[in-house]
Amino acid sequence: MALTEQEILAGLGKIINEITGISADEVTPEKSFVDDLDIDSLSMVEIAVAAQDEFGVEIPDDQLKNLKTVKDVISFIQA
């Protein structure tokens, strides 16, 4: 059973809050990790590692750098 966008968003919000302290409410699909959420590249690695555990999806480094927005990650996990 694939997860819905809302379920993935909620899970990502929790992960991003845990790692960066940013409120989960601020994690919305259109947000850019770098420009809007001020998340640096090492934090993105932490988020990717946590997302792998949470959603069971491997995010290779060469793919990670293409995931610019929250929506990009959701789409990657759903694909």
Where does this chain bind another protein (CB under 8 A)? 18-21, 42, 45-46, 49, 52-53, 58
Compute the least distance from the CB of residue 22 to another protein, in Å. 8
Report residue 32: phi and psi, to 5°: -90, 135
Clarify whether 38 is annotated catalytic: no
Compute the least distance from the CB of residue 45 to another protein, in Å. 4
One-letter amino acid of 69: T
In the set 25, 35, 38, 40, the catalytic residue is 40
Which residues are annotated as catalytic?
Answer: 40
